[in-house]
């Protein structure tokens, strides 16, 4: 038997070694998940473990926050929020999925505001160029 961590309730549950790599049900919260790495060597608790998607999740959150300000300038808002959105979606599969969700949400809001800001700027430019 090995202890694996339930990704839902984070409790350690004993699983027969032969069940690793198969779908198991957490006895505490009934969450069904893929039994992977035993908790003792769980990637999340291994220092220096490289999670290719966690960086994206963090970057997405940062870009989402930047996008909250950057949308005022459409030229800046578009690249920041679109990048944040893409990274956030890619980061959803990482163990920082909470950050990725927040980053994706913030980026989506920032992108919507950028579009709005661009439209307003465009309208203002039209208005200004109109002959009196």
Interface with Zn ion includes 34 (CB under 5 A)?
no
Burial 46-79 (b: 16+ CB within 10 A, else e): eeeeeeebbebbbbbbbbbbbbbebbeebeebbe
Nearer to Zn ion, 31 or 101 (CB): 31
- Which CB sits closer to Zn ion, 6 or 100? 6
Contact call for residue 9 and Zn ion (CB under 5 A):
yes
108: left (phi over 0), alpha (psi -120 to 50) or beta: alpha
CB of 29 to Zn ion, least distance (A): 3
**Smallest distance from the beta carbon of 10 to Zn ion, in angstroms?**
7
Instruction: Say how far apart CA 57 and CA 85 lie, in whole Å.
Output: 10
6 lines the binding site for Zn ion (CB under 5 A): yes
Q: Does 123 bind Zn ion (CB under 5 A)?
A: no
Residue 33, interface with Zn ion (CB under 5 A)? no
Residue in 12, 31, 33, 36 binding Zn ion, rule: CB under 5 A:
31
- Give the single-character DSSP code of 46: S
The reply on whether position 26 binds Zn ion by CB under 5 A is yes
# residues near Zn ion by CB under 5 A: 7
Residues contacting 94, CB < 8 A, separation 6+ = 51, 52, 53, 54, 56, 57, 100
Asked whether the beta carbons of 4 and 37 are under 8 A apart, the reply is yes
Residues that bind Zn ion (CB under 5 A): 6, 8-9, 26, 28-29, 31
């Amino acid at each position: 038997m090995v202890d694996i961590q339930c990704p839902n309730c984070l409790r350690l549950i004993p699983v027969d070694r032969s069940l690793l790599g198969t779908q198991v049900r957490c006895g505490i919260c009934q969450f069904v998940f893929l039994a992977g790495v035993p908790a003792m060597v769980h990637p999340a608790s291994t220092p220096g473990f490289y999670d290719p998607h966690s960086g994206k999740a963090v970057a997405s959150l940062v870009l989402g926050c930047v996008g909250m300000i950057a949308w005022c300038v459409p030229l800046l808002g578009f690249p920041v929020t679109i990048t944040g959105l893409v990274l956030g979606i890619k980061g959803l599969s990482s163990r920082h999925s909470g950050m990725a969700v927040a980053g994706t949400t913030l980026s989506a809001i920032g992108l919507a505001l950028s579009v709005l800001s661009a439209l307003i700027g465009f309208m203002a430019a039209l208005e200004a160029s109109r002959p009196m």
